[in-house]
Chain A
Amino acid sequence: MAMVKPAERIVSCGDVSCEFLVDPIPRPRPEPLKITIRPEKQQVVFVDSQKPNSMVILRRAQELLRERGIDVKDEIFQKSSAGIPMDARVLDRLAEEGGLILSGVND
């Protein structure tokens, strides 16, 4: 099913007045956006989430991109686990990459 974002407010109206119901859903804090118009380097870098079959999919994606003449970094970075956020060591290494970073390959 298509994703529908939950309503930010719902109003309940009786015979004479209305009230907002209390929103039970926390929303992400807005964050100042830092936009880089283009990568410093025209290269694609992959991150393996360690999900089943992820390396098969990523290696194939590397091949397909190279067939189209796109520069792809041979090393594939690895998260320590699919179930937890990327650790600081991997994030720091990714921050040094000048290319476009792709992650999130699933089973």
Chain B
Amino acid sequence: MNSNSPMECEKDRQLDELLNAYRSACPDFEPGASFMPGIWARIDEREVSTNWFGRIAKTLVTAAVAASAILALMLSSFNHQTFNHQAAEFLNGTFVEALRADQVAELEPFHVDHIAELEQQ
């Protein structure tokens, strides 16, 4: 990394010199009278806008929570009603009806027409 030619070393030295001279060539900055009041004015401005955004965000979060709670309540009452209806049917039916209802689901994929066609062949 450091195996530079004499010309490169000279350039390197010139750059160092230039950067050192640059530091002293830069003027010192004296802040104006409005520097501190300006900072506080901008801080206040940001605090106001942050509070405004905060309030909006809070309102939105509250509304979202309320909507979720309402939806959850609606869903749970709907499920409850459906479940009650199915449970009542099951409990009120006879043992034979319950068995039939259970077997209908298993028999459904078979089609009588198809079996008849097969028999004809």
Is B one of A's binding partners?
no
Which residues in B have some Cβ–Cβ distance to A below 8 Å?
A: none
